[in-house]
Amino acid sequence: MNLITVSGPPSSGKTSIIIKTINSLHQRDLKVGVVKFDCLYTDDDVLYEKIGVPVKKGLSGSLCPDHYFVSNIEEVVQWGVDLELDVLITESAGLCNRCSPYIKDVKAICVIDNLSGINTPKKIGPMLKSADIVIITKGDIVSQAEREVFASRVHSVNPKAITMHINGLTGQGAYELSTLLYDEGDNIDTVKGKKLRFSMPSALCSYCLGETRIGEDFQMGNVRKMDLGGKND
């Protein structure tokens, strides 16, 4: 089974791209499954079901969704192996710019859209910087110049990645992406022992554990204070 991790800011077009790409994989008679990780809510599973793709969803609720991802990915892989999938795709909404669910030696795709503003590539951390393939969506509604500037910004934070422009609505470019995704020789039946590409930050403060009251008295653990004295950093 091939494992592919797809991540990207909310509403950047991940599901649209994955669905259009699965259509092309289906044409090659490949069996594809999807697992969606999100925080509080998602309807994506319904969309995947509609095209006949086996799907599971996991909501991390009060936990960090990327931490939740690593804690569950091995079980998810076993689910895919049991279903005898050829390709298992995970979709995670990148809610925090510091974490990313990418695993070493597992194909990592970041989906980012042209509408998110030209400074976005600079703001997104490992999720964009350590991806193998960067998909830029929503090029159909911005000008050529804006697309070019945006792509050059993406390129300067991750020059090594393959950058592709895909239209999530029409699927233009999705066939092309599908040709990069499946490799028969690339077999994964477990991710046990594999490593994340990037460590996830340590954060354990009283608010992580459910504290709601405000004030120094209630702050324990890993707490950091803003410097409001001088200039902004």
For other proteins, the binding residues (CB under 8 A) are 27, 98, 114-115, 117-118, 121-122, 125-126, 129-130, 139-149, 151-160, 162-164, 170, 172-173, 175-176, 179, 198-199, 201
Letters for 65-104 (x = contact with ligand GTP by CB under 6 A, - = none) are ----------------------------x-----------
Sign of the Cα torsion 224, 65, 169, 128 reads: positive
Query: Total residues at the site for ligand GTP (CB under 6 A)?
Result: 17
The CA–CA distances, whole Å, from 225 to 13, 62, 148, 219, 230 equal 35, 23, 39, 11, 14
Residue 135's Cβ-count burial label (10 Å; 0-12, 13-18, 19+) is: buried
Task: Considering the complex, state which of residue 83 and residue 169 has its C-beta at the smaller distance from ligand GTP.
Answer: 169
CA distance 183 to 163: 19
- Min. distance of Cβ 204 from other proteins in angstroms? 15
Query: Residue 21's binding partner, choosing from Mg ion, other proteins, ligand GTP, none, with beta-carbon cut-off 5 to 8 A by kind?
Result: none
Q: What x/- string results for residues 34 through 53 when contact with Mg ion is judged by CB under 5 A?
A: ----------x---------
Count of Cβ atoms closer than 10 Å to residue 79 Cβ: 16
Rounded Cα–Cα distance for residues 154 and 121 (Å): 5
The partner residues of 165 in beta bridges, in order of sequence, read: 136
Residues near Mg ion (CB under 5 A): 14-15, 44
